[in-house]
């Protein structure tokens, strides 16, 4: 089959690869209904992450089960499923605590920017729907696999509560999903930091009450002004740079929490400065599996429309264009039609 | 009067200073019932913290109110009071959220290793008792001012809950108070990391269920072995060095929390490593004022005996000996009789 392989910085190819097959009895093979490009795919695409060799790209997925290994019990061929980008057994102690992204058997999904993909640990990773959903819900169900689940985790980790004030640092797809999530969790005030008009508009649509376009010290000063000098209860850090993390920390009130989901690249934190800012922090790869049943239900009953974050939808064969559009910030997020 | 002044590394003197007086209408002057030496006093004593000039030492205190400024409403001369080492107005938004140690008017107490001390922001800082307590309770009430309140905050920040597993890194007085606090909060398993037999004994008396004397990688391995490979729900970091913080982080399970109260000295944290360890963190100077009424009640009804942590009690005039004994780890904590 043809699938997506990254050979080096900005060298993404749609090329012949082996079809996936059951390797372990706990595997499933799915036929993808749609897949997409993740903001985190841009790190290796931009040469900002070391590569040992060609990478089979794609970790966000939903589709129909084609085949299962002999030990798979909870899904069967023909069922529509969504899975987390973090593969987990969903039975180990960390999974039981709701941190499936730290599962003792954790693997990261790969090779999903393709017509077919192998999903290891199928029982612990995949969540089936009662029926194959209608076509227009596919983008939103796909979003649940990572980008929505990650934005949701940022809000959960930052302990967004009814009536609270949340700041979202980062106007990428995850940040926008963070806005949606904070709204669902009842935040009264949601301040999105964005300097990009189309993203600002989507943030407002998803529930942002204020937009701050300034960054750095001026951005922090504006957040402080909007919060009566106090700072926010919850800050969702959805970028992963030193500057964005610093901004997130400085926007948080003492006793507030930064939920950070942008994979930190070159971020160093001073223990003493964290100590005296007296803020809580929780981050990491999102335990999407914990949230997946709830998020799928919200999509299926049309309470939320996370799929709107895909502002570019192209055929899988044009995947290289999809990377380029996101790299150049022409697209928020690219959906690939299979 | 004679009081304690640090002139430079290991040069602590009991010498003539001005008697404190009301400077602001919100001040109180208290006659100390007892005072003590804090582990954090050892940082400047050891020359590990820059000094601009001579320091009037002492920030842990309890005693009888001698005089109040004209705006002080909640305490009056003759009342016995305990106050936090962090001075706060107890009315600003941060105080209302329970983070009085980040009060917009925050100051740190000083000059309490003396017969009399000035307490700014008296209304927001001091908690009076109904009657002057019996002499034998003075050490425990004094402990509430900082060392107990700080150990309690470590456990609170680390979210110790009934049935949970807590690890305490550091066997200084704060660590021992962390053990006591975790026990009060219902932790089922409390693992104290200590290699000092007298401190181990006190930890066990305060509720530790296990002692781990190894440090570094071997210490972490033993904690993992004691927790079925999972790590602890809550870890109380009560030291403040790079090594102790690393150990605390590595002992925590994903989704668990490190409550850190040792003032970090030279601690640098990698954002990416924190991200993938997926642990929560909350630290800072303890908002003792939040806990003070509850802690004083526990002492007054003799539910707890934190005063046992003072294993050296000497006259204030011998304060230099008290510093030396703690510096050389001959004493856990020195109480100074006034």
pTM for the full predicted model: 0.96
Q: What is the reported pLDDT for B89?
A: 98
Per-residue pLDDT band for A215 (boundaries 50, 70, 90) equals very high
Contact A102 B278 (CB under 8 A): yes
Contact A285 B272 (CB under 8 A): no
Q: Which two tokens stand for residue A239?
A: 């970028």
Backbone angles phi, psi at B211, to 5 degrees: -120, 130
Contact A274 B268 (CB under 8 A): no
Count of other CB atoms within 10 angstroms of residue A318: 16
Same domain, B128 and B221: no
Q: Which of B326, B328, B288, B289 is nearest to B310 (CA)?
A: B326
Query: Residues of A94-112 as b/e, b for ≥16 C-beta within 10 angstroms?
Result: bbebebbbbbebbeebbbb
CATH number at residue B330: 3.90.180.10
Mode of pairing for the β-strands spanning B61-68 and B28-36:
antiparallel
Cβ(A316)–Cβ(A128) under 8 Å?
Answer: no
Q: List chain B pLDDT tens, one digit each, 338 residues.
A: 999 999 999 999 999 999 999 999 999 999 999 999 999 999 999 998 889 999 999 999 999 999 999 999 999 999 999 999 999 999 999 999 999 999 999 999 999 999 999 999 999 999 999 999 999 999 999 999 999 999 999 999 999 999 999 999 999 999 999 999 999 999 999 999 999 999 999 999 999 999 999 999 999 999 999 999 999 999 999 999 999 999 999 999 999 999 999 999 999 999 999 999 999 999 999 999 999 999 999 999 999 999 999 999 999 999 999 999 999 999 999 999 99
**In whole angstroms, how far apart are CA A266 and each of A49, A105, A241, A262?**
11, 27, 7, 12
A144-193 pLDDT, tens per residue? 999 999 999 999 999 999 999 999 999 999 999 999 999 999 999 999 99
Same domain, A47 and A136: yes
Annotate A71-133 with DSSP letters as a single string: T--S--TT-EEEE-SEE--S-SHHHHTT-GGG-TT-EE----SSSEEEESSHHHHEEE-SSPP
**Which residues on B lie below 8 Å from A93 (Cβ)?**
228, 230, 253
- Domain stops at, among A239, A268, A283: A283
Same domain, B127 and B173: no
- Comparing CB atoms, the residue among B101, B230, B264 nearest residue A271 is B264
A245-295 pLDDT, tens per residue? 999 999 999 999 999 999 999 999 999 999 999 999 999 999 999 999 999
The proportion of chain A whose per-residue pLDDT surpasses 90, expressed as a percent, equals: 99
- Domain stops at, among B283, B309, B329: B283
- Domain stops at, among B283, B309, B327: B283
* Interface ipTM: 0.95
Contact A271 B281 (CB under 8 A): no
Count of other CB atoms within 10 angstroms of residue B71: 11
Annotate A278-337 with DSSP letters as a single string: T-EEEESS--HHHHHHHHHHHHHTTS--GGGG--EEEEGGGHHHHHHHHHTTS-S-EEEE
Per-residue pLDDT band for A111 (boundaries 50, 70, 90) equals very high
The rounded distance, in Å, linking the Cα atoms of B195 and A273 is 30
Per-residue pLDDT band for A49 (boundaries 50, 70, 90) equals confident
**Which residues on B lie below 8 Å from A157 (Cβ)?**
280
Q: What is the reported pLDDT for B49?
A: 87
Same domain, A326 and A309: yes
Same domain, B100 and B131: yes
Same domain, B117 and B100: yes
Per-residue pLDDT band for A207 (boundaries 50, 70, 90) equals very high
Q: Which two tokens stand for residue B80?
A: 């016995």
Same domain, A272 and A291: no
Backbone angles phi, psi at A14, to 5 degrees: -100, 105
Q: What is the reported pLDDT for A243?
A: 97
Same domain, A63 and A20: yes
**How many domains does one find in chain A?**
2
Cβ(B55)–Cβ(B6) under 8 Å?
Answer: yes
CATH number at residue A198: 3.40.50.720
Same domain, A320 and A270: no
How far off is chain A from B97, nearest CA to CA, in Å?
8
> Which range marks the domain in which residue A177 is found?
151-283
**In whole angstroms, how far apart are CA A184 and each of A148, A155, A306?**
12, 10, 12
Same domain, B228 and B140: no
Same domain, A27 and A115: yes
Cβ(B166)–Cβ(B187) under 8 Å?
Answer: yes
Helix axes A216-226, A242-251, angle to 10 degrees: 20
The rounded distance, in Å, linking the Cα atoms of B272 and B274 is 5
**DSSP 8-state assignment for residue A241:** S
Same domain, A94 and A187: no
Q: Which residues does A contribute to its contact with B (CB < 8 Å)? A: 93-94, 97-99, 101-102, 104, 157, 228-230, 240, 242, 245, 253-255, 257, 260, 263-272, 274-285
């Amino acid at each position: 089959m043809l699938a997506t392989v990254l050979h080096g910085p900005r060298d993404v190819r749609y090329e012949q690869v082996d079809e996936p097959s059951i390797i372990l009895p706990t595997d499933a093979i799915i036929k993808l209904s749609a897949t997409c490009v993740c903001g985190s795919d841009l790190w290796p695409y931009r040469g900002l992450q070391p590569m040992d060799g060609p990478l089979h790209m794609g970790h966000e997925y939903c589709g129909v089960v084609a085949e299962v290994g002999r030990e798979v019990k909870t899904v069967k061929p023909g069922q529509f499923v969504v899975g987390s980008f973090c593969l987990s057994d969903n039975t180990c102690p960390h999974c039981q605590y709701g941190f499936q992204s730290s599962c003792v058997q954790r693997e990261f999904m790969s090779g999903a920017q393709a017509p077919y993909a192998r999903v290891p640990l199928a029982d612990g990773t995949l969540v089936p729907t009662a029926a194959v959903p209608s076509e227009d819900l596919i983008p939103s169900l796909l979003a649940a696999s990572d980008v929505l689940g990650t934005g949701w985790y940022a809000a959960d980790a930052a302990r967004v509560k009814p009536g609270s004030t949340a700041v979202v640092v980062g106007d990428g797809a995850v940040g926008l999903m963070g806005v949606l999530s904070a709204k669902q969790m009842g935040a009264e005030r949601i301040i999105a930091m964005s300097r990009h008009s189309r993203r600002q508009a989507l943030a407002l649509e998803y529930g942002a009450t204020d937009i701050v376009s300034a960054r750095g010290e001026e951005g922090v000063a504006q957040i402080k002004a909007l919060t009566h000098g106090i700072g926010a209860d919850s800050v969702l850090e959805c970028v992963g740079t030193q500057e964005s993390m610093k901004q997130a920390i400085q926007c948080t009130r003492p006793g507030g929490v930064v939920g950070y989901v942008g994979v930190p690249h070159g971020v160093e934190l001073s223990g003493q400065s964290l100590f005296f800012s007296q803020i809580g922090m929780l981050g990491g790869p999102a335990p999407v599996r914990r949230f997946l049943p709830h998020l799928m239900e919200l999509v299926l009953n049309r309470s939320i429309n996370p799929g709107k974050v895909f502002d570019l939808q192209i055929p899988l064969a044009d995947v290289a264009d999809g990377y380029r559009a996101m790299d150049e910030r022409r697209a928020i997020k690219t959906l690939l039609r299979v």
